[in-house]
Structure formats: structure tokens, C-alpha cells
Chain A
């Protein structure tokens, strides 16, 4: 309580300094790793196909950025980034929505939950990515839907399982309270089960967001249009331009991080009580 007060009353420079102090160690570690990487590669004269220097990767990036800014030309890297972003995001949205929806339906009828959960848990422990070639076959190798499909399936199971848990693992007394009000099952769902499930859903989304990107990129390894990050990586690697392949790896990481951060922000917005509770510990 006092904490939140002091934050809201702090002036902007104070806040800024606080943020700097908070993030400084992280930034220093990042810079340190990059410097060590650069100097180790130089000192030990490591072949660039094993590990290119960060500076070389950086210069490849500049080339692509110049291509992007120049209206006459096109940047394959950024086109690929856009395509993979759309695949991963599409799959993530479809898979998570379906997972939450199915959980809401099955949790309404305990019998269905009990019948389906073992299958969901089994499916969740299967390497679903192995189905990528089959999805490529079903939907067409250059069709983004084939990648969205595999991503959807990958994120569906953890989301569904966690949501079912959140909807059913309700405190006994909190449920009895609802019965004491003679609340209808719908009102119990809305006022107790769904809010109770929110932390479970968000922890599923935290897991699902990087999974969606892994799914999309690995599915592209099995084949896809030239302008996708997975294909870009395999092509550049087989053409021995490893620094260029690395730019795609960096872009994939950035997409993954952006998904994760979005989930964290959504979490703060949808669960204000949770955030405060955690920071008080």
C-alpha cells in the first residue's frame, strides 16, 4: 500500500532514476555478454559458421534496415519477420481462444472434464511439432494456415488444461459461499470460476507465447515460402552466410519477447489485485 503511494507521488526524474537503477544490472550483463562474445571470437579465431561476431551480425542488420528504408527495394529479412509474426500470432490467438472456450464448455459438465482431461494431458506430452510435415501436406506447404494450424494445436493443450484447472480448483468455502446465496451455475461461473481461473490462464499464456514462435519457426524448417524466418535461416545457413542467418534468429527472439511482454502487460491490466499481491511479498 505504502509502496504504491510512493510510486505515484514520485516525480518523473525520480521515477526515471529508479528505472535506471532497476534495469542497469540487466543492461550491463547484456553489454558484457556481447563484448565477451566479440572478443572471444576474435581471440580464438572462431570460424564464422560456428559463431559469427556480433559486429558482423550487426552489419548484416544494417544492410537489411537500409533495404527496408529504401522504397525501391525490399528487405527479405523483414518480410520474413512479418510472415512468421502473423503465423505465430494467428496460431496463438486461435489455439488459446479454442483452449479457453473448450475448457469453459467442459468445465460446465464435470463428466466431460473427467473424460477428456487424461487425453488432453497425454496430448500435451506428445511432441506435436512432429505433425508439422503433415500439416504442410494438409493445408499446402506455402499456405500460412499450415503453420497457424500447428501453432494452434501446440498452444491449445496447455491453455485448455490450465484453464480447466483454474475453473475447477476452486476453494471449497468460496464455493459454499455461492451456494449460500443460491447462486445459479452461470453466476458461479462468472463471479467465481472465471476470476479464479485468470491466474491459471495467464500462466498458460506465458508458456504458450514462446511456444507459438518455436512452433512456427520449426514448422517452417520443414518447408514454407522463402519469406519466412525458418526458411530464411535454413537457406542462409546452407549458403554459408551465417551472420545473416543469425539476424533471423534475433528477429525470432524479438517476436517471442514481444509476445511475452504483451502477456505480462495484459496480466497487469486484467489482474490488478494479483500484481499488487505479488509485489507485496
Chain B
């Protein structure tokens, strides 16, 4: 019991977590091997690594969309299942995944509707969220009327509408062009500061990981595992000038080398 009490202060606490798909069959895949990771509330953590190293799997374990094969995983000091029932996290997928039959406003209201908030609160909260992602005038639009970047902002607004303590993002800006992506990164940092959430952010982009996160989790495939965790001491708030700091380049280089090492181990 002492241990559970101890990780109450952790937003995420993972110890010896394994995830094996189709165990004891010929299709067996060790997606994650002996994962150990803790995150303090308010941290911005990036997961980076080559395709198939288990980034999405780790995120889905945290989200209780799948369950670990073995090991201990606690979210806010609870089982992932309990934390999902408590609506502790908001999820943002690579595709915006908006419901095309709902207006932008109604999409942001969706989680609040499911969770039974009264109508006036829903509308008010959705308006605030749209303001936060700078889409005030677009409430009545349908998703297909928005650009990819705007859709992804709606999806972030939706994920934060019910004020979860944790924001899980699986390559949210992967489909955007470089320019839009950099703008979205700035936006996300601003939102992270205002909304005061813990973020777990999956990405393939080293520069994105370094620009955003306070810690960078480097992973490698076959079997999927964490090879390094880089503390990123670049000071917040970060802006476009951050990308020109020598320390920024050093961190980018460090992560790149770790990723290369992880690859060469194979």
C-alpha cells in the first residue's frame, strides 16, 4: 500500500510494464519490454523513436484502451481503468477524428454531452475552448469546411473541454506541413501553460520533441523499449528564438545520436 500512496503524486507511474500482442502464438509481438517511466503533474513528455517501437502502444496503455500483459501502471495514483472512468485524460489522435455530422461547436461539446454536463455549461465551455485555440468564429462550421490545422485545433479544444489533468497526443501534427506544425507547437505550449495539464506527446520529429518537451523519452523497436530519457533544460516560455539557441541545437544533436544508437543496436 505504501507504494500506491507514493505514486499518488505521479501523473504517470509505470514499472516493469510489458505488452505482448498475441502471446504464445506465431504472431507474438513484444510491443513493449520492461518499461519504467514516471511523470510529475504538469510535465510535458515526448515519446520519440522509429516506427513500431511501441509509442502508440504505450499511449494506449496509459489511456486504458488496451491493458498491460504484466507490470504496474498507475495514472494519478489509480489503475488506468479507474482513471479512464474518472475521465482523467483527453486524447488527440493523428487524424483530428471530428464527427463530420456535428458542427465545430458541437464537436467540442461532445465529451461534455457524454459526461452529462448541463446544456448551458456545455455551450459556455465549448466557446471558451474555441477561443483558446483561436477559432471563435467557427463554431457553426462543419469539420470539412476547416483546414487540417484548424481541425486539429478543434480536436485539442475537444480534448481539453472537460478539463482533464492529462493530455495524450499521438502524432497530432504529423499530417501538417512544417510551417503549420511550428505554429501549432507554439499554440500547444501556450495551451499547456494556460490549461495546466500533463502532456504525453508522441512524435517522429526530433525538433518538435526538443522544442516542446521538458523530458524526451527515446525508444527503440524489436522489442519496443525505452533506451534513454533526456532532460530538456531549455527554459520556458519558449518561442521562435528558442530554435536559435545553441542549447537547442545541442539537445537536438543529443537526441539524434541517441536515436541513431538505438537503431544500431539492432
Contact = CB atoms under 8 A, between A and B. Distances in A.
B114 A277 contact: no
Contacts of B89: 180
A29 interface: no
Interface string A179-208: 111110001000110011010000000000
A173 B110 contact: no
A191 B106 CA distance: 11
B99 A192 contact: yes
Contacts of B97: 171, 173-174, 177
Which secondary structure dominates chain A's binding surface? Answer: helix
Nearest to B86: A182
Listed residue (B95, B100, B144) with the most chain A CB atoms within 10 angstroms of its CB: B100
Interface residues of B, number: 24
A125 interface: no
A176 B90 CA distance: 12
B100 A179 contact: no
A273 B84 CA distance: 31
A180 B85 contact: no
A253 B101 CA distance: 33
A182 B84 contact: yes
Given A273-B100, A273-B101, A280-B144, A181 B95 contact: no
Contact of B101 (A180, A181, A183, A195): A195
A171 B98 CA distance: 11
Contacts of A178: 114
Given A173-B93, A179-B65, 15 more contacts: A1-B145, A171-B97, A174-B97, A177-B97, A179-B84, A180-B89, A181-B110, A181-B114, A182-B84, A191-B99, A191-B113, A196-B101, A276-B144, A277-B142, A277-B144
Interface of A: 1, 171, 173-174, 176-183, 187, 191-192, 195-196, 198, 271, 273-274, 276-277, 280
Rank and list the top 7 A-B pairs by shortest CB-CB distance, nearest first: A195-B101, A180-B91, A173-B97, A181-B114, A183-B114, A273-B142, A182-B85
